Structure 1
Amino acid sequence: MTLTAAPRRHRFPVSIISQAVWIYHRFNNSYRDIEEQMAYRGVQVSYETIRSWSIKFSSHFRNVIKKRERKPSDKWHIDEMTVKVNGEMFILWRAVDSDGYELDVFLQKRRNKKAAIRFLSRVLGSYPIPRVIVTDKLKSYRKPIQAMCRSTEHRSHKGLNNRVENTHQPTRRKEECLIKFKSPQGVQRTLALMGKVRNLFAVEVGRYLKKAFERRETFKAACTIWSEAAQELLCI
């Protein structure tokens, strides 16, 4: 089986599907933007079809990337931001490591202790307990971290959390591109894969200090992982 084959009950080959999903989650493009880009290449596909591909296959790509990603550092940064979804305010919780690799995002209605416990349980279910957790001054973090990460040093300081606050920027750019987010489920699904794609293609230690051939090799390795994930669509 090759990337020119099509998944079951799909007309387009895996190469087209995976590229459309990658463009949507890697760049600030809408479904209509991608429809036009595909048309320029001679591929006639509607934006609704691209949307259905993103909905159906985003969790698959996220899971494959997550299995192949490097281990996070033992220092985490956790923060939350407000997101308007169809006119209603939500809280987006995000955790990254000290190099800026996104560990997880989780959309919730509240910013309280119960919400902090839900998010920490979700992250700790996938990664080992860190040595240090850095948060802002939100009091909701204090007791959950003490109870769930007994050996972890908790640093609560607004000025120390720029690492995770910078990772909110792609979310804001995507939000601006789409004019507004339409549904909580869509936000969670889109941002979860966006973070993993960004880890794979954009977050790189010493990225701007590396030579051109080193960056190309890193990009090639990232493309290989994405292609392997696309290949596995044929088995779904």
Structure 2
Amino acid sequence: MLFDRGVVVSYKTIRRWCDKFGAGFAHRIKASRRKPGATWHLDVVFVTLRGEPWLLWRAVDQHGVELDILLQKRRDKTAAKRFFKRVLAACPEVPGKIVTDQLRATRLRKRRSPNWLIHVRHVFVKASARVNNRAENSHQPTRERERRMRGFRLPERTQAFLSNFGPIRQHFALKRHRLPASRYRQQLALRFAAWHRFTVPTQNPSTAL
């Protein structure tokens, strides 16, 4: 249809557009969000990139808001420290409690822990206890997107895509089943108004180039 109207578009146009503006949109959304809750939930899930297993580390607060993600090859203490450092850089507010499963890599000894982590209450739970459901449920949109995209390919592109996908998806992910129709439409209108502010650079072709 575009070709019939004289518009020539590469099949990579959308990907290039996302690469150029996605990170900026995600950053503006994160900056506009309320402060993270005092309880953080951490979980690790396997993803397959061209047949190789990788580990996706994810942290969310008690409200289910994604704090940060990091794709890594290993699941050791070095990887855990790297992820904790990344999360703290994105969320300067130190949590009061961190909830994780019984993964040994997250059990950093105090002498090896960052200074801010020493005074944080660390809770380890069994998978069957369902206490860490906040983090485990946050993997579902990633799994759905993985199926739609028929799997991920390169680690760098997967990291970049998921880092932008999470905040942008959550910006529009209202709990519709908990809101009356009028309230839902009102909240959605506010979200779209904020989205228009975030995407101002792309609304003027002369400034978007």
| TM-score normalised by length of structure 2 | 0.86
Alignment of 1:66-215 (within 5 A): 66-127=30-91, 128-143=93-108, 147-148=113-114, 149-157=117-125, 158=127, 159=129, 160-202=131-173, 204=175, 207-215=176-184
Three-state SS of the structure 2 residue aligned to 1:130 is: coil
Counting matched residue pairs gives 196
Three-state SS of the structure 1 residue aligned to 2:27 is: helix
CA distance in 2 between partners of 1:44 and 1:213 (Å): 41
Structure 1 residues 45, 144: closer, same or farther in 2, change over 3 A?
farther
Question: Which residue identity lines up with residue 130 of structure 1 in the other structure?
Answer: P
Question: Which residue identity lines up with residue 147 of structure 1 in the other structure?
Answer: S
Asked whether the 8 Å contact 2:68–2:90 carries over to 1, the reply is: no
CA distance in 2 between partners of 1:46 and 1:164 (Å): 37
Structure 1 residue 211: deviation in Å? 1.2
1:23 maps to which residue?
A: none
In the alignment, structure 2 segments of 5+ residues that lack a partner are none
Structure 1 residue 44: deviation in Å? 6.7
Asked whether the 8 Å contact 1:95–1:164 carries over to 2, the reply is: yes
CA distance in 2 between partners of 1:214 and 1:90 (Å): 41
CA distance in 1 between partners of 2:13 and 2:38 (Å): 41
Give the CA RMSD over aligned residues: 2.2
Structure 1 residues 46, 115: closer, same or farther in 2, change over 3 A?
same
| Percent of paired sites with the same residue | 39
1:48 maps to which residue?
A: 12
